[in-house]
Structure 1
Amino acid sequence: MPVRLPSVRHCAVLLSAVWALSACTLFPVADDAPVARKLAALPSADALLLGEQHDAPAHHAIERETVEALAARGRLAALALEMAEEGNDTTHLPANATEAQVQTALRWNDKAWPWADYGPAVMAAVRAGVPVIGANLPRARMKDAMADVSLDAQLNEAAREAQREAVRSGHCGLLPETQIGPMTRIQIARDRAMAQAVLKARQPGKTVLLVAGAGHVLRPLGVPQHLPSDFKVTSVRLLAAATADDEGARGYDATWRTPPLPAKDYCAGVKAPARP
């Protein structure tokens, strides 16, 4: 399974830690506005990064609608996914490919990422003749990433510390401190891999859509940090909450709110491993 920090907890820590690192503008838009209207309110970009809460059904619906809206306007260059590993794509499949064929092409891990959640957006892209590409760091490369000290220099000190704190909290405070650095490198390597996938899919006059967890699309320390300065990026947080906190919004260009979900403690029942 991919390294996957608890989404709500992970993002809450990231948001509180990096608010001072970003001066991005929040583009106001009505929460109940159609997705096509929300897209029209955003600046044109080479890439649109949608940061989801993994367990929010409304976010998956927005992702499908975003694919459909961009494709209908002939603007969708590719759909890139955190949920599939780099090196897997649908470019060789026809628009009428079956869902089984698409899952095979992407080497989909249904246990980690339920196809029922992501399949509609993926299939909307395939039906539109738009390639779907895996963007996440392959699991086989994670061990090397953990030992790659050069990854430490990919973020400035403040952003790196924010990522370290997110890893610490995202694992419910149970990781040995000696593992915080290596696990942080995996997160940085994942963001860099997603950025590289987005760059490879770039097409003039079109937009690459990346779907990933909200923490990955934070401007101060996520995927945008690994893209060149002349690459136009718009980062949108999908937020299942009654209100949008101004502090957290600073790490994104826009926040699209959806109905709140019941509070959930992702660390409830998690126990520290027994000591020998």
Structure 2
Amino acid sequence: MRRRIMLLLALGLSFPALAEHPLSGKLWRLSEQRFVSEAELFAQLPTDGWLLLGEQHDNPHHHQLQRRWIASLADRGQLGAVALEMATTVQQPLLDQALMRGSTTTPDSLNWNAGWSWALYADVVRLSLDRAPAVIGTDLTREQQRSVYREGAPSDDMGELHANYMRRLLFESHCGQLPKDSLEGMRQVQLARDQQMAERLDQAQLKALSGVMLTGTIHARNDLGIPLWLEKPAVTVLLTSVQEGRQEPYDYLPESYPGAPVAADYLLFTDAIAERDYCAELQSSHRKTESSGS
């Protein structure tokens, strides 16, 4: 729950569904500041690298789009491995066993983490297992994350501006409810997860094909996440929920720290979902945890 709330709130990506928003369904290339077609993007994907799709985890429109893009790349003979933030490296043998058997795959057969709603992810995971040459688990296990929290990430050389921004982002995206002395440990976990996922992508890339990574927005960002550690070329697309009163692509450019790389290569605008009070949910989760521990 905490991880999901953090990634959702960091860019403010949960808003009421809007009918016929002028941006919905459009793809914006930041470098040229113009709209492009999906076919144009696909034609320019690195054939020895990755397409990173930064999602809002609980937005079904994002999962529908992921399925459509994965199917389109497969139809073009372009699809490489599909990598998942939602699966850890220890699940890899189970993912390998399920390859080409997606239609009969169950969450139990993958030892799927219940924290990632199978109802939301089942279709895209099953499609990937049936159409991709490999499906890759990329994340650290909970035990590994706890170890990193205590001992630190393998590398921490992004500079103080990046570090300060990440601490502030973690604090604000958890609704100001985190003890400030926990922020550095959480930042180290975020760094280690990004490094682990980047390493897995570098290892899993298939020659002459374009891999697809499904991950949260922050992990996908060029200025904050996986691309900072990735050796293979990558294109980042942030799936961005439209908001009432924000009619132009420029209204959605993510803020960052001074001197940071541009956060994404593309913004793909999608319908929003019904508004939820994530801060209230987080506070309720804290109360339940405290109550169960008393």
TM-score (normalised: structure 2): 0.78
CA–CA separation in structure 2 for the residues paired with 1:26 and 1:83: 32
1:263 aligns with 275
Q: Does 1:201 align with 2:210?
A: no
CA distance in 1, matches of 2:241, 2:158: 28
Q: Deviations over 1:152-185 (max 9, x none)?
A: 6242221121211121112221111110100111
Number of the residue aligned with 2:10: 10
Give the Cα–Cα distance (whole angstroms) in 1 for the partners of residues 118 and 179 of structure 2. Answer: 33
> Counterpart of 1:69?
72
Tell me how far apart the structure 2 counterparts of residues 265 and 42 of structure 1 sit (CA, whole Å).
Answer: 39
Which whole-Å CA distance do the structure 2 matches of 1:97 and 1:261 have between them? Answer: 28
Equivalences for residues 30-179 of structure 1 within 5 A: 36-37=38-39, 39-40=41-42, 42-44=44-46, 46-89=49-92, 90-100=95-105, 103-109=107-113, 111-151=114-154, 153-179=156-182
Deviation at 1:29? Answer: 3.1
Q: Offset of 1:61 from its aligned partner?
A: 0.3
Residues of 1 paired with 2:125 and 2:280: CA distance?
Answer: 32
The DSSP-based 3-state class of the residue aligned with 2:212 is: strand
On the 8 A contact 1:10/1:215 being kept in 2, the answer is: yes
How many residues are treated as equivalent by the alignment?
257
Runs of 5+ consecutive residues of structure 1 not aligned to the other structure? 14-23
On the 8 A contact 1:29/1:38 being kept in 2, the answer is: no
- TM-score, length-normalised on structure 1? 0.82
Residue of structure 1 aligned with 2:186, choices 183, 186, 211: 183
CA contact (8 A) 2:42 2:73 kept: no
Cα–Cα, structure 1 residues 155 and 99, in superposed 2: closer, same or farther, change >3 Å? Answer: farther
